[in-house]
Amino acid sequence: MGVEIDIRGLTKSFGRQVIWRDVTLTLPAGEISVLLGPSGTGKSVLLKTLVGLLRPDAGSIVIEGQDICRLKERDLYEVRKLFGVLFQDGALFGSMNLYDNVAFPLREHTRKSESEIRAVVREKMDLVGLVGAEDKLPGELSGGMRKRAGLARALVLDPKIILFDEPDSGLDPVRTAFLNQLIVDLNQRIGATILIVTHDINTARTVPDNIGLLYHRHLAMFGPREMLLSSEESVVRQFLNAQRVGPIGMSEEKDADELAAERDTELPPLPPIPLQMMPSDGVPRSRQRPPGQWCAENGIVPPAGSFGGSDVGADPAAAL
Ligand SMILES: Nc1ncnc2c1ncn2[C@@H]1O[C@H](COP(=O)(O)OP(=O)(O)OP(=O)(O)O)[C@@H](O)[C@H]1O
């Protein structure tokens, strides 16, 4: 089962460049969260800070009662075992075949015998649909296969937290849909806490339980998927609906003249909130909320046509 990550007042600068300040959010245990934000807003820096590869200037990250920002390197090494990280390109060793790549963390961090390692590698390769490709070198694989191999390797130590850095980068929409399904199925199966950094709006709208948006050196909003998808907050609305009208410009922020020029531009209505992606077997994940529940509980009327026209508050399995 996953663990909660409690982030309070996190601030990070490189020299005089403030990346973000006072970032506060809780990643709920066992839920899937997505982090969005224009390029350069420090999403990857946040992921690296979560696994202790970068130290923040201020703030805390509490996991299982320990503030990892205050841990010594030796203790951090133990905490890192809670994490599985899928980097953008899979971060595989080019000279090792897939089997050895996936076995690597087990050989480095455990005392398992080679036959035990074989069983774990086979299970994870099976989970990501790569059985039979064990002898291939990373260079012989497509981008999607490399990502899946990277995911198998991220899973071998049975992580309680899985971080995905742009899992959809370089993938076509079909492969992205398959990978997203794999993430949802994985969450259902092992209950890990998952954080996905992505630029893919479709992923952000359909996969997570929660969405966060980094913008202008702070966390503009973080909360349940339906809260963000029904938000009238201009930056959230612009980003999640991929619109040009709004405060985000080509180089992050529009200036006063640009904003004044579009003051009278009428924004298109919010698009319907789509149904959340279900696990392949149609059984809702343990932390999955029925469609429309958040809106109903908070007195928000979702945009017309939301949830595929299903009844608000209906059982997600029934909505398929
Ligand atoms: N180790 C570092 N030293 C100095 N500056 C850094 C370092 N790592 C990142 N930065 C800077 O931090 C800022 C945020 O980078 P980051 O890669 O986290 O952005 P991002 O939101 O993930 O962008 P993208 O969506 O384009 O991947 C950038 O200006 C980058 O140059």
247 lies in a domain? no
- How far does residue 208's CA lie from ligand 1's centre (Å)? 24
pLDDT at residue number 118: 94
Count the domains in the chain. Answer: 1
Given a cut of 50, is residue 42 above it in pLDDT? Answer: yes
Greatest pairwise CA separation for the chain in angstroms: 68
Q: Give the domain extent around 88.
A: 5-237
208 lies in a domain? yes
Given a cut of 90, is residue 274 above it in pLDDT? Answer: yes
b/e burial code for range 149-175 (CB count within 10 A of at least 16 → b): bbbbbbbbbebbbbbbbbbbeebeeeb
Given a cut of 80, is residue 91 above it in pLDDT? Answer: no
Which residue is closest in CA terms to ligand 1's atom 26? 39
Atom number, ligand 1, closest to the C-alpha of residue 41 = 21
94 lies in a domain? yes
pLDDT at residue number 232: 85
Site to probe by mutation for ligand 1, drawn from 11, 43, 198 as the one with most ligand atoms within 8 Å of Cβ, is 43
Given a cut of 70, is residue 249 above it in pLDDT? Answer: no
pLDDT at residue number 254: 59
Counted residue by residue, the chain has a size of 320
305 lies in a domain? no
DSSP state of 315: -
Atom number, ligand 1, closest to the C-alpha of residue 38 = 25
Strand partners, 28: none
pLDDT digits (tens, 9 = 90+) for 14-25: 999 999 999 999
304 lies in a domain? no
The pLDDT of 144-162, averaged and rounded, is 90
178 lies in a domain? yes
Strand partners, 84: 162
The residue type at 251: S
- How far does residue 42's CA lie from ligand 1's centre (Å)? 5
Sequence-ordered strand ranges (E) for 143-217: 161-165, 193-197, 210-215
Lowest mean pLDDT among 21-25, 88-92, 195-199, 287-291: 88-92
Q: What is the ipTM of this complex?
A: 0.97
Residue 171's domain is classified under what CATH number? Answer: 3.40.50.300
21 lies in a domain? yes
b/e burial code for range 114-147 (CB count within 10 A of at least 16 → b): eeebeebbeebbebbebeebbebebeebeebbbb
- How far does residue 45's CA lie from ligand 1's centre (Å)? 6
pLDDT at residue number 255: 62
pLDDT at residue number 119: 94
Given a cut of 60, is residue 312 above it in pLDDT? Answer: no
Strand partners, 165: 197
Atom number, ligand 1, closest to the C-alpha of residue 47 = 18
